[in-house]
Amino acid sequence: MKSTSVKELLSKSLLLQEVSVNGWVKTFRSNRFIALNDGSTLANIQCVVDFEKLDPALLKQINTGAALKVSGTLVESQGRGQSVEIQVSDIFVHGGSDPEKYPIQPKKHSLEFLREKAHLRIRTNTFAAVMRVRSALSFAIHQYFIENGFYNLHSPVITGSDAEGAGEMFRVTTLDGQEPPLNEDGSINFKEDFFGKETNLTVSGQLEAEAYAMALGKVYTFGPTFRAENSNTSRHLAEFWMVEPEVAFYDLDDNMDLAEDFIKKVIQYILKHCQEDLKFLEKRLLDEEKSKPQAERSAMPLIEKLKFVSENTFQRLTYTEAIDILRNSKPNKKKKFQYTIDEWGADLQSEHERYLVEKHFKCPVILFDYPAKIKAFYMRLNEDGKTVRAMDILFPGIGEIVGGSQREERLEVLREKMAALHIPEEELWWYLDLRKFGSAVHSGFGLGFERLVLFATGMGNIRDVIPFPRTPQNAEF
Ligand code: 4AD
Ligand code: MG
């Protein structure tokens, strides 16, 4: 008999039929009730065992964590808490599980504890729900772009350029089973790397996406990116996934329209397709927040917040307007400081971003026209000569979720900018070529995928929304 999924069993379409299902034991109560889960859905299927008919040796192997194939008849359940159950006729144990040693006990574990068990934490309801929502978001992203005429570009992971010019790169070395090549002073000779070239893991697929946009019109990349920043925060990873659309002939306004519409549509997708998991995550968050002071709790329950963001207009304002708001802000009584910013030109700190989003506007905010000095070399210079056509999208509870810009399409202006920042033209000769042969206005942005998953699931730490987090402390798995 072909096995079915727990999800299908719970849909009741197979009622009164002989079924069989594979999965892992969540709990086994009173030598009689097995709660089996196979990951297809949040809920378990209850399997009712007549233990008098079952081989005691087999019974012993049914422990939390064991993998089973259960066969029997699907019937309406008499008990409370589930609508159907399997009246078991046969059990096959794929693999047992030592109940003393299995780390995922049927009780509440802390997220910190589970982080140490990244290979097994996915067996908990919380992580299974998060990863199903993550998968749905990933699908919705591809669907959105493909339906809107974009082509998916697979940009390289190993690259010679530092797209952000921030120097936060992981170098690639070729060891070939040998020691790395050394300089006379004993330091590693990076010039010998990657068959004689200096290369690194990509920090962004943007520059390559620009080349493709200047031929295919609308493209997007969605892949892993790497930042060697040694920051240990709940919003940063050393390896994270980024979605980067790039569009020829789009200016900054088109770019902001695209980003806003895109985010709303992918959130609407999960509201439609992930109800069960979102409800579970909403309840998890409410329980977790009970112990927090009122001021630190979310203003809205998770699903209401997702609806709000997907239905309301994001507030757009320039960096300069934001600075004025911050200068005139009321002091934070509790923390005894004002959200003031010392001078025009300084980068916004996360408390400034939070003030704008959570206190002042109470909705997502798009800031644009930032000072050139605090943004990357490729952004288009405005007529004022001191701001660039940059935009960041700030989200409640998250901070920056998107960074993007209209790109500098004028060869001479780009050259001057690179010279001022000491970026050698030889490194980006091909990027300059794009400004020599059919250059045009174009724009794009990067959305940090894990920050979107954080927002969508209400989780508090970015390490809990990526399967195997890479942070300075964590690269074991
Ligand atoms: O603002 P960033 O650095 O922009 C770029 O890389 C551009 N090249 C994108 C583009 O225009 N195509 O990064 C974009 C987004 C940020 O807004 C943030 O959401 C996320 O990527 N991000 C990180 N997410 C997790 N961990 C990190 N260390 C991150 N650094 C950036
Ligand atoms: Mg940024």
* Cα–ligand 1 centroid distance for 242 (angstroms): 7
Asked whether the predicted pLDDT for residue 430 surpasses 90, the reply is yes
Which residue puts its alpha carbon closest to atom 1 of ligand 1? 403
- Which one of the ligands is nearest to 398 CA? 1
Domain containing 25: what range?
A: 6-102
Which pLDDT score is estimated for 194? 61
Q: What is the mean pLDDT of the chain?
A: 93
* Cα–ligand 2 centroid distance for 244 (angstroms): 13
- Determine whether the shortest distance from the Cβ of 239 to ligand 1 is under 6 A: no
Shared domain check, 455 and 421 = yes
Percentage, residues of the chain above pLDDT 90: 78
- Determine whether the shortest distance from the Cβ of 442 to ligand 1 is under 6 A: no
Shared domain check, 331 and 273 = yes
Shared domain check, 239 and 97 = no
Atom of ligand 1 nearest to the CA of 231: 28
Give 161: exposed, middle or buried? Use CB within 10 Å, 0-12, 13-18, 19+.
buried
* Cα–ligand 1 centroid distance for 227 (angstroms): 9
> 21 near 5, Cβ under 8 Å?
yes
- Determine whether the shortest distance from the Cβ of 205 to ligand 1 is under 6 A: no
Question: CB neighbours of 112 closer than 8 A, spacing ≥ 6?
Answer: none
Q: Is residue 368 part of a domain?
A: yes
Average confidence (pLDDT) over 59-77: 96
- Determine whether the shortest distance from the Cβ of 445 to ligand 1 is under 6 A: yes
- Which one of the ligands is nearest to 444 CA? 1
Domain count, the chain: 2
Asked whether the predicted pLDDT for residue 63 surpasses 80, the reply is yes
Which pLDDT score is estimated for 162? 79
Atom of ligand 1 nearest to the CA of 238: 28
Average confidence (pLDDT) over 67-73: 98
Give 127: exposed, middle or buried? Use CB within 10 Å, 0-12, 13-18, 19+.
buried
Dihedrals phi, psi of 46, to nearest 5 degrees = -85, 130
* Cα–ligand 2 centroid distance for 387 (angstroms): 16
> 164 near 219, Cβ under 8 Å?
no
Which pLDDT score is estimated for 469? 94
Q: What ipTM was reported for this prediction?
A: 0.99
Shared domain check, 132 and 77 = no
- Determine whether the shortest distance from the Cβ of 21 to ligand 1 is under 6 A: no
Average confidence (pLDDT) over 6-25: 97
Pocket test for ligand 1, best of 141, 204, 391 (most atoms within 8 A of CB): 204
Shared domain check, 131 and 98 = no
- Which one of the ligands is nearest to 155 CA? 1
The CATH number linked to 15 is 2.40.50.140
Express each pLDDT in 227-244 by its tens digit.
997 778 999 999 999 999
Q: Is residue 145 part of a domain?
A: yes
The CATH number linked to 268 is 3.30.930.10
Shared domain check, 141 and 84 = no
Shared domain check, 344 and 311 = yes
Shared domain check, 403 and 257 = yes
Q: How confident is the model at residue 195 (pLDDT cuts 50, 70, 90)?
A: low
* Cα–ligand 2 centroid distance for 164 (angstroms): 9
Q: How confident is the model at residue 215 (pLDDT cuts 50, 70, 90)?
A: very high
Q: Is residue 411 part of a domain?
A: yes
Atom of ligand 1 nearest to the CA of 229: 28
- Which one of the ligands is nearest to 243 CA? 1
Pocket test for ligand 1, best of 240, 247, 462 (most atoms within 8 A of CB): 240
Percentage, residues of the chain above pLDDT 70: 95
